[in-house]
């Protein structure tokens, strides 16, 4: 745990000392604020619409955050120093992943202010369903964690940050929109259609947006995190022995 905490602290300092992190955060908050403003202009007091827009933004935010986790280490050669320290690969991967999760979750905090504004505006109609707000936050946090885990995995496979970001974005878009093509493939192969429906991130976010927290959806996102980080550890270990 101490090794993981050391990596976590180092990575967090790197995020908050990096201008790229502030640029990514500022762009995200501006776009999120634009969607929120549009929602207010249309008098749409639905927390589901708020979380839906955030989940789409995460498909582009998380690759920008995760791209530097290992690709930058490979490019600068600092990975050699890191891997010669008495730190196991799993501690490095988990520490870097945890730092990315903390950074992105902090970016999600302003959504609480947006939800509060919607709640105050809608008090005459009973306000927002606080259970739905809580479930929505759980859903986008789980999705962010899964997206970041995939980003960390891709980052272990290339030394180019742009390649890592673009590749991660493509993978996330495919996973997010898998349910859109499930009916097409399902007509020829019901098993394949069901599989595509299950792997769709958007499909597993529906119940969160409705204020429900289902174990099936939590298990899905947790499985993606565990699988991606495990593969990242394997990829890092393979690189050590090259």
Residue 38 CA to residue 33 CA, distance in Å, equals 9
Residue 146 CA to residue 115 CA, distance in Å, equals 23
For the stretch 32-89, pLDDT in tens is 777 777 766 666 566 777 788 888 889 999 998 888 888 877 777 777 666 666 567 8
Average pLDDT over residues 106-131: 69
190 lies in which domain range?
2-240
Q: Is the pLDDT of residue 127 over 60?
A: no
Q: How far is CA 16 from the centre of its chain?
A: 18
Burial status of residue 55 (CB atoms within 10 A of its CB: 0-12, 13-18, 19 or more) = buried
Q: Which of 7-11, 157-161, 204-208, 238-242 has the lowest mean pLDDT?
A: 238-242
pLDDT attached to residue 241: 57
What is the residue-averaged pLDDT of the chain? 81
For the stretch 70-85, pLDDT in tens is 887 777 777 766 666 6
Residue 102's pLDDT band (cuts 50, 70, 90): very high
| Number of domains comprising the chain | 1
């Amino acid at each position: 745990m101490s090794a993981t905490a050391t990596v976590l602290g180092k990575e967090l300092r790197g995020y908050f000392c990096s201008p790229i992190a502030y640029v990514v955060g500022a762009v995200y908050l501006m776009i999120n604020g634009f969607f929120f403003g549009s929602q207010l202009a249309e008098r749409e007091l639905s927390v589901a619409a708020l979380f839906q827009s955030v989940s789409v933004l995460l498909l582009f935010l998380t690759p920008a955050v995760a791209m530097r986790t290992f690709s930058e280490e490979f490019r600068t050669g600092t990975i050699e120093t890191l891997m010669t320290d008495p730190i196991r690969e799993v501690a490095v991967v988990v520490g870097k992943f945890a730092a990315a999760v903390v950074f992105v979750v902090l970016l999600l905090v302003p959504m609480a202010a947006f939800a509060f504004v919607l709640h105050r505006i809608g008090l005459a109609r009973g306000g927002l369903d606080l259970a739905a707000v809580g479930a929505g936050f759980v859903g986008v946090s789980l999705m962010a964690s899964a997206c970041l885990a995939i980003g960390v995995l891709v980052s272990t496979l290339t030394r180019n940050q742009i390649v890592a970001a673009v590749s991660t974005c493509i993978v996330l878009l495919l996973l997010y929109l898998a349910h859109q093509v499930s009916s097409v493939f399902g007509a020829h192969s019901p098993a394949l259609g069901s599989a595509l429906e299950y792997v769709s991130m958007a499909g597993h976010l529906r119940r969160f947006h409705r204020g429900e927290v289902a174990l099936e959806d939590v298990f899905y996102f947790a499985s993606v995190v565990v699988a991606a980080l495990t593969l990242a550890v394997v990829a890092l270990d393979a690189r050590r022995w090259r």
